A and B are shown apart, each in its own frame.
Chain A
Amino acid sequence: MNCSSEDLKAYFLGELSSRDKAPVEDHVHACQSCREELDRLKLTQTALLALEEEEVPQRIAFVSDKVFEPRWYQTIWRSGPAMGFASAVILAAAILVHAFGVQGFARPAGAPPVTATVDTAQIEQRIEREVNARLDAVVQKAVSDAQSKQAAEFAKVLNASEARFESRRKADLATIQQAAEYYEKQMNRWLVASNDTRAGQ
């Protein structure tokens, strides 16, 4: 191998494959000028590496930078409950569209083709009727439930009052009975005493 500045530099910079490295190493071992050239390259590199890296004057921070904040759709995408809600809304919309689509596009065989125009007023009326019907049903059910609950509570309070009244009445009767028995005994004592007095006279 002859002296080759390019090969020597490629060898020095670590760009040669192991197969290409061996002949260069053999040549450098045998060639005084190439050995000196390699030493000069090493010294140059050592001098270059003496230049130390500077610290960054101020931190390159992006946390507070608006441009790095996630967009609103990224925030929603990362929010589980919100995504669940969004999925439910999309599913409901899909069902609604499908329902109206089936009714709108289904036609008997032989029937004239339906024009592609969409009667939005008709759809709005249909949605309004549907919404009103469902709303009425829901309100009616809610009122019925409330009335049943109120009646049940009233019956419960009434039963409790009746029980309290009955209990009180029994207690009063017992008291009256005891008082009557007491007065009856007293009366008998007075009668006996009165009879004894008459007999002594």
Chain B
Amino acid sequence: MIFREVEDRDLIAKARRGHVDAYNVLVSRWEKRVFNYLLRLVGHREDALDLSQDVFLKAYQNLKKLEDPAKFPGWLFRIAHNEAYSLLRKNRPEGELAAEPKTGGETSGRMFPMELTLAVQSALSRLSDDQREAVLLKVYQGFKFEEMAEILSCPVSTVKSRLYTALDLLKQTLAPVQMGGAE
């Protein structure tokens, strides 16, 4: 992990000096995580791919503004968050973004054939965008509360509130699956 951080830092330094190849290596390291984060957030593969392109383009263009290269992951996901929410706001009417539970988007039913993954996908889609994003950043990306607060531009208390509520909802939604899986 330490080596990886050092390598990322070196790549960032090189990319800042205009080495496109170094940035390409950085992209290849992070594209899968960013793509999956966006896919689970916006629920549409093509949109997630377009957003991923935009995220890495903006990251490259603003790389010199990144003060601490060690904070690259959080900074990158901050860009991804902004891009995703720009799209979500554009695609949905005002006020609908915050807390409408989704009944399943394109990702449910088609992308994951196994029953458990379907159930998880469905459960995630029932969360609000904010709650789902909190789960994505914590459970799938492993960010700390402080890092999540920076990515989401909100207080740590808000992060905790969203995440704890989401966990309670997921716990209820996935309980039958867990029990079924245990039987």
Contact = CB atoms under 8 A, between A and B. Distances in A.
Contacts of A51: 40, 112, 117, 120-121, 124
Binding site of B, secondary structure by majority: helix, strand, loop or mixed? helix
Contact of B32 (A56, A62, A74): A56
Contacts, number: 102
Nearest to B174: A47
B49 interface: yes
B35 interface: yes
Interface stretch (A5-13, A111-119, A186-194): A5-13
Interface stretch (A36-44, A95-103, A143-151, A170-178): A36-44
Q: Size band of the B side of the interface? A: 35 or more
Nearest to B171: A44
Interface string A43-72: 111111111111111111111000111100
A54 B111 CA distance: 9
Interface stretch (B3-11, B23-31, B69-77, B95-103): B23-31
Nearest to A56: B35
Interface of A: 5-6, 9-10, 13, 15, 40-41, 43-63, 67-70, 74, 78
18 contacts: A6-B160, A9-B163, A9-B167, A44-B170, A48-B174, A49-B140, A51-B120, A53-B36, A54-B45, A56-B49, A58-B49, A59-B28, A60-B52, A60-B56, A62-B23, A62-B24, A62-B57, A68-B60
Interface of B: 18, 20-21, 23-24, 27-28, 31-33, 35-36, 39-40, 45, 49, 52-53, 56-57, 60, 111-112, 114, 116-117, 119-121, 124, 135, 138-140, 144-145, 160, 163-164, 167, 170-171, 174-175, 177-178, 181-182
Given A51-B121, A62-B23, A62-B57, 7 more contacts: A9-B163, A10-B160, A40-B171, A47-B178, A53-B32, A59-B28, A60-B52
